[in-house]
Structure 1
Amino acid sequence: MRITVIGGGSWGTALVKILSENNTARIKWWMRDKEMVQHIRTLHHNPKYLSSVEFHPSRVKAYNNLKNALKETEWVVLAIPAAFLEEAIAELKPKHFEGKKIVSAIKGIIPSKNELVTDFMCRQFGVPLEEQAIIAGPCHAEEVAQEKQSYLTIAGPSQTVAQSFATLLACRYVKTQAITDIYGAEYSAIIKNIVALASGITHGLGAGDNFQAVLISNAMLEIERVVNRASQASRNLLSSAYLGDLLVTAYSQFSRNRAFGNMIGRGYTVHSAQLEMNMIAEGYYAVNSLYQVVKSWDLELPIIEFTYNVLYKKNSLKKEFSILKNRLV
Structure 2
Amino acid sequence: MNPQSGQGARAAVLGAGSWGTTFAKVLVDAGCAVTLHARRPELARAISEDRENPDYLPGIRLPKGLRATADPAEALRAAELVVLAVPSQSLRDNLVQWAPLLPPDAVLLSLMKGIELGTTKRMSQVVCEITGAGPDRVAAMSGPNLAREIAEEQPAATVIACADQQRAEQLQAACHTPYFRPYTNPDLVGCELGGAVKNVIALACGITEGMGFGDNTRASLITRGLAETARLGAALGAEPTTFAGLAGLGDLVATCSSPLSRNRTFGEKLGRGMTVEQALQTTRQVAEGVKSCRSVLDLGRAHGVDMPLTEAVVRVCHEGVPAAQMVKEIMSREAKPE
Q: TM-score, normalised by structure 2?
A: 0.92
State the SS of the aligned residue for 1:177.
strand
For the Cα contact (< 8 Å) 1:97–1:125, is it kept in 2? Answer: no
Structure 1 contact 310–316 (Cα < 8 Å) conserved: yes
1:191 to 194, 197, 207: 197
Q: Which residue of 2 aligns with 1:108?
A: 114
Q: Distance in 2 between matches of 1:89 and 1:159?
A: 25
Range with greater deviation from structure 2 (91-100 or 64-73): 91-100
Structure 1 distance, partners of 2:25, 2:267, is: 29
- Are the structure 2 counterparts of residues 284 and 93 from structure 1 closer, same or farther at C-alpha, using a change threshold of 3 Å? same
Q: CA deviation at 1:94?
A: 5.1
1:165 Cα deviation after fit: 0.7
1:29 maps to 36
Q: Distance in 1 between matches of 2:57 and 2:242?
A: 33
Determine the C-alpha separation between the residues in 1 that align with 2:180 and 2:44. 26
Q: In the alignment, is residue 230 of structure 1 matched against residue 236 of structure 2?
A: yes
**Which consecutive residues of structure 2, in runs of 5 or more, have no partner in the other structure?**
1-8
The CA deviation at 1:233 is: 3.8
Let me know the Cα RMSD of the aligned residues. Answer: 1.6
Indicate the residue corresponding to 2:45 in structure 1: 38
Q: Which amino acid aligns with 1:207?
A: F
SS of match in other structure, 1:51: coil
1:1-329 alignment to 2 at 5 Å? 1-23=9-31, 25-57=32-64, 59-93=65-99, 96-233=102-239, 235-327=241-333
| Residues matched between the structures, number | 327
The alpha carbon displacement at 1:129 in A equals 1.3
Residues 205 and 266 of structure 1 are in contact (CA less than 8 Å); yes or no, is this contact kept in structure 2? yes
Please give the alpha-carbon distance, in whole angstroms, between the structure 1 residues aligned to 2:227 and 2:185: 21
1:8 alignment partner, SS class: coil
**CA shift at 1:295, angstroms?**
1.4
- Counterpart of 2:21, as a letter, is T
| AA matched with 1:27 | V
- Asked if the contact 2:205/2:221 (under 8 Å) is kept, the reply is yes
| CA-CA distance at 1:232 after TM superposition | 4.2
Q: Give me the whole-angstrom Cα distance separating, in 2, the residues matched to 1:190 and 1:119.
A: 14
Note the alpha carbon deviations across 1:155-208, whole angstroms, 9 max, x for none.
111111112111111111111110100011001100001000010112212322
Deviates more, 1:127-136 or 1:81-90: 81-90
Q: Which amino acid aligns with 1:17?
A: K
Distance 1:55 1:142 in 2: 12
Q: Deviations along 1:122-145, whole A, 9 cap, x unmatched?
A: 111101111111111112111112
Percent sequence identity over aligned pairs: 29
**TM-score w.r.t. length of structure 1:** 0.95
Amino acid in structure 2 at the alignment position of 1:285: K
Q: Mark the CA change 1:99 to 1:105 in structure 2 (over 3 Å): closer, same or farther.
A: same
Cα displacement (A) at 1:60: 1.6
Superposed CA deviations along residues 9-44 of structure 1, whole A, max 9, x for unmatched, are 100111011111123x10011010110111222222
Give the partner amino acid of 2:27.
L
Question: Bigger CA drift: 44-53 or 87-96?
Answer: 87-96
Q: Name which of structure 1's ranges 231-240 and 46-55 shifts more when overlaid on structure 2.
A: 231-240
Structure 1 position 234, deviation (Å)? 6.1
